[in-house]
Every structure is written in structure tokens, then in C-alpha cells.
Amino acid sequence: MSLCREIRPGVWWTGAIDWDRRLFDALIPLPNGTSYNSYLVKGSEKTALIDGVDPAMLGVLLDNLRELGVDKLDFIVSQHAEQDHSGAIKKLAELFPEAKIIGSAKCMELLVEFSLVDKNRVQEVKDGEKIYLGAKTLEFIHAPWVHWPDTIFTYLTEDRILFTCDFLGSHLATSDLYAIDTITVYEAAKRYYAEIMMPFRPNVKRHLERIKDLTIEVVAPSHGPLYDRPQFILDAYRDWSSDEVKNQVVLPYVSMHGSTRKMADYLVQALIKRGVGVKRFDLTVTDTGELAEALVDAATVVIGSPTILAGAHPLALYAAILANALRPKTRFASIFGSYGWGGKAPEQIKAAIPNLKVELIEPVMAKGYPKEADFRALDGLADQILAKHKEQGIA
Ligand code: FEO
């Protein structure tokens, strides 16, 4: 059964909702599924498809095109070569032999390399280039590195629709075409920003600046619902990508026999008593997407680890490596945990976060179960965090 939805006369959503997908990139949990948004734009002379769908959903896209009576495509716009949007383009190119596959030069190169698209079918579009479909004009805006080097946005001039591919999107399977349930969409979009966009924060800011003077009636990303009130998502992205941090500590920890957990609980209470917000994550059960989302605007991260085989617990190192890869705007970091007879847990965790531009606050490591002196040291850590947040004007 097909499910096309008209956005404006001559413009349809022709994508697929993936209610069941639970993992992306063999890494990112998708608790709410996702969608692969594809769009059909029919001018009076020519027809363009903007983005494909994940190859597993090609049948859904083809049903949608069939329902709209599409037997010929003049252009297939590939805004980004990752397989969830472009993995089916080789097949689409075979089914629509007249179609030119267009996108940035880098995208065309990646399509040939990753999806084995015939190199004679691809054609580069330059930044600012336009194509005319007859009463509908597509203008291409190069927006590299959010998150691959190939991304473009497409602006449908007459209808003032900005197609943004991954940018401004969310992994959210929903029957709503537009972001109506704004609380749910905000959370999904923030989590998505954390997982996909946060490592590229300077580019996010640059691209927001680039599109700020466009008149946009609809933002149409390639995952999740569209925005018919674009300010909602544009303001959220400005906030998340800004340099501002919040009076919050992200506290991921792991404990084997309870010593590190006791310290985690004590530190959480000490921070709350001082008016500092805390997001505590037991790494044995943590959804890494929630941890990533918490890192978007917290001023401080404190990682807790026991000592095992002379070093940090692998789950604590995983959290450190994840934070390092996501490059949040965190300003301060510290470490706590326990050890029995030595070990290098703090050194290993410190070495795992070179990308974080943080001031490191002295770690607190307890020998065995934490004792009075260790709790006083945790009080001292909480005092220092509060003092740092006050210096930042956020506490
Ligand atoms: Fe949704 Fe980068 O692909």
C-alpha cells in the first residue's frame, strides 16, 4: 500500500516510514524507528525526485511513485550519498533510464564508489546552481560536513521549501507529516543532533548562517517529520550549536562491586545540594543516544570507573571514547572511582578524550570501598564544579 502525501501542489512526500528499525550504523539505537523521506517535485515540464530511501524500502518508494503516475524522472537529486538515502539509487537509475543523477561532485564520487552507480549517469551541480522544472525551480546549496563531505540542501524557490537531508532531521517513525507533537519531536531531534551533527558544530553554525536569509515556509529533512513552523527547529539548532553551556553535570559511571556506585550516588547528592543539575548514567544499561543527548549542553562531564586489569573499566572507556568522538562543548571534566592495588584508570580515561577542550579537575580515586576522606574529596570535587560553573555565569 502506498502512502504519498501532498505538501504543496506538485510536491509530494514519497518516502518510507521504518517503524521497526532499532539500530543505525551498527551503533546508534533507534528507540522510535525512523523514516527515509523522499520527495517528488513535478514541474510543468520536468520531474525530479529528491533523495531515495534505504534500499530495504525501495518497494515502498516505487509504490508511491506508481500511485502518482510517475513513469519518467528527469532528475534524481542525491543530497547525500549515505546508503539510507542513496543506496537504492543504482536501482532507481536502472528503472528510470532518462534520469540524470545530480548532486555535489563529492556525492557523485561517493555514489559511484559506495553504491556502484554508473559514472556515466551522474552529474555534478555547483553551489548556487539552479535547475528549472517548469514553474518550479530547484536551487542547490552546498552544505558539506553535516555529517559527510558531500551534503547539499535543495531550495524549491516558488514554494519556499528547503530540503535539508540529514540536517534538522530526527530518527522518529510517526504518522504525522509535520512536527505537531513538538515535545516528542524536540527530544528526537536533539538526540539526532547529538549523535550525528554535534561533532560538526562549527559547520552547523555556518550552514544556519547561510540559510538565515532564505524565506522558508517548510523545512523538509530526510528523516522524521517536516516543519511547517521552521523557526521551531532552526531556533533549537541555534541553541544546541551555540557556545552556551548549562549548569549541568553528565555523570556516566560503571561499578563492579558497589564502590564506584557509592561514590556516584554521593557525588550526585553533593551536586544537587549545591544547585548543580546532574544526569546520571549507569553504563551497564545506558542507551548511548540518551548519553549523547545529555552531552549537548552540559558544562561538565565526570566519568566514574572501577579498576580492572590495571586500568579503567571498558564501559567507562567506551563512554570516554564516545564523548571524545562527539566533541560536545563541555568545558570541564573529571574522573572518580576505586582501585584495589594500583592501576591507571584516570590516565587511560584522560588519554581517551583529547578532542574535548576541557579543563580537567583533579580525579578522586578511592582505595577499596569509599571512606570518610573519599567523601570529603567528593565534596571538594562538587565545590570545584560549582565554583567553575559560577565563573561561567551559569550557576
Ligand atoms: Fe541519513 Fe547520513 O544519512
Query: Where residue 368 sits, what CATH number does that domain have?
Result: 3.40.50.360
| 1 pLDDT above the threshold of 80 | no
In the chain, alpha helices (H): 58-67, 83-86, 89-95, 105-115, 182-192, 201-211, 231-241, 259-273, 288-294, 314-326, 345-351, 372-391
Ligand 1 centroid–CA 342 distance in Å is 44
pLDDT tens digits, one per residue of 73-90: 999 999 999 999 999 999
pLDDT at 342: 84
Atom of ligand 1 nearest to the CA of 148: 2
393: in domain: no
Ligand 1 centroid–CA 82 distance in Å is 5
309: in domain: yes
Range of the domain at 307: 246-388
Please name the residue whose Cα sits nearest to atom 3 of ligand 1: 82
Out of 196, 221, 241, a domain closes at 241
Q: How confident is the model at residue 343 (pLDDT cuts 50, 70, 90)?
A: confident
Ligand 1 lining (C-beta closer than 6 Å): 80, 82, 84-85, 147, 166, 222-223
346: which 3 cell numbers? 584516570
Do the bridges between strand 130-132 and strand 137-142 make them parallel or antiparallel, or are there none, so unpaired? Answer: antiparallel
Q: Do 259 and 375 fall within a single domain?
A: yes
Ligand 1 centroid–CA 177 distance in Å is 19
Q: Do 306 and 226 fall within a single domain?
A: no
d(CA 59, CA 232): 33
Please name the residue whose Cα sits nearest to atom 2 of ligand 1: 82
Atom of ligand 1 nearest to the CA of 151: 2
Atom of ligand 1 nearest to the CA of 165: 1
pLDDT tens digits, one per residue of 194-238: 999 999 999 999 999 999 999 999 999 999 999 999 999 999 999
pLDDT tens digits, one per residue of 372-393: 999 999 999 999 999 999 999 9
Q: Do 119 and 182 fall within a single domain?
A: yes
Q: At what angle are helices 182-192 and 231-241 packed, to 10 degrees?
A: 40
198: which 3 cell numbers? 554535534
Q: Do 283 and 152 fall within a single domain?
A: no
Ligand 1 centroid–CA 166 distance in Å is 5
pLDDT tens digits, one per residue of 323-336: 999 999 999 999 99
160: in domain: yes
Q: Do 262 and 237 fall within a single domain?
A: no
394: in domain: no
395: in domain: no
| 321 pLDDT above the threshold of 70 | yes
Ligand 1 centroid–CA 169 distance in Å is 9
Q: Do 282 and 350 fall within a single domain?
A: yes
Atom of ligand 1 nearest to the CA of 147: 2
Specify the DSSP class assigned to residue 150. Answer: T
Please name the residue whose Cα sits nearest to atom 1 of ligand 1: 166
Q: Do 252 and 202 fall within a single domain?
A: no
Ligand 1 centroid–CA 167 distance in Å is 9
Cis peptide before 147 (omega within 30 of 0): yes
pLDDT tens digits, one per residue of 270-287: 999 999 999 999 999 999
296: in domain: yes
Q: State residue 295 phi and psi, 5-degree precision.
A: -75, -10
Task: Average the pLDDT over 172-201 and give the result.
Answer: 97
325: in domain: yes
Instruction: Work out the percent of the chain whose per-residue pLDDT is above 90.
Output: 98
Count of structural domains, the chain: 2
Q: Do 251 and 266 fall within a single domain?
A: yes
Atom of ligand 1 nearest to the CA of 196: 2
Query: Rg of the Cα trace of the chain?
Result: 24
Atom of ligand 1 nearest to the CA of 36: 1
Q: Which residue has the cell 524536540?
A: 186
Out of 178, 210, 241, a domain closes at 241
Out of 178, 206, 241, a domain closes at 241
Q: Do 307 and 206 fall within a single domain?
A: no
Which DSSP string do the residues of 233-272 spell out, in sequence order? HHHHHHHHHSS--EEEEEEEE--SSSHHHHHHHHHHHHHH
pTM for this model (two decimals): 0.96
Ligand 1 centroid–CA 36 distance in Å is 9
Q: Do 61 and 82 fall within a single domain?
A: yes
Q: Do 164 and 256 fall within a single domain?
A: no
51: in domain: yes
Q: Do 302 and 233 fall within a single domain?
A: no
